[in-house]
Amino acid sequence: MADKSKGGGGSGRGGADRRLKVRVKTAKGRKGSSTRWLQRQLNDPYVARAKREGYRSRAAYKILEIDDRFRLLKPGARVVDLGAAPGGWCQVAVKRVNALGEKSDKQGFVLGVDLQEMEAVPGAELMLLDFMEDDADAQVKAALSGPADVVLSDLAPFTTGHKQTDHLRIIACVEAAAYFAFDVLKPGGAFVAKVLQGGAEGSLLAVLKKRFEKVQHFKPPSSRQDSAEMFVVATGYRGARDPASEVSGGV
């Protein structure tokens, strides 16, 4: 899935920004876009910080910054991370909910789901599964074996390069994650999902506002400014409702 990382507090700028920039020569057979991506990675302070702090990708800082703002990952919380590879969000969640039971008597639980294989994340349960396949949600519910406090979604479809098609695909992922959250969240729970610039689709946003006390869009500082991604953060889950009473089919 898409890149994920986050670390504890602060932007990680300062000294990292003062490093000499690394220039990458365009190698024979390498596309210009690949060269630009590699140069951006080599000069990204969050990439360097993730390596120093042991996170698997720069994306970990996105969920750290979201949690610093909204305080979702509390000790003892039960968390599902959809689209978890390479595991940075799970790493953050394990620490913040105390899934290893190291800091208090409140021990949390973290379940990561992705269609790509991941190295084990100490303190997290991992499932190799395409969440967009039929009955995948039922399999995740069985593995969760109880209600959740937080559902995180960094689900990202394979892109086509066609803007409208890619937008529809990512909204379909967000919608699937949202309806899964409706089934498993405790009252008062939270849902966080990556969307494209412009936010969640209007009809889906309307459903979220019915289900949660507060729904906001947020772009973490670690999200690249030239990226179209942002996150919808829904807090204060109102509890299960009759789906027939809502307008469905957001896309």
Amino acid symbol at 84: A
Active site residue 194: yes
Decide: 50 and 58 in contact? Cβ < 8 Å: yes
- Identity of the residue numbered 51: K
10 Å Cβ neighbour count for 115? Answer: 16
Task: Tell the burial category of 107 from Cβ atoms under 10 Å away from its Cβ (0-12, 13-18, 19+).
Answer: middle
d(CA 6, CA 135) in angstroms, rounded, equals 31
CA dist list (Å): 66 to 7, 141, 231, 237: 11, 25, 9, 17
Interatomic CA distance for residues 152 and 156, integer angstroms:
12
Tokens matching residue 44: 């990204």
Cis peptide before 147 (omega within 30 of 0): no
The DSSP output letter for 36 is H
- Looking up tokens 């208090």 gives 104
Choose the catalytic residue: 51, 103, 194, 219.
Answer: 194
Active site residues: 194
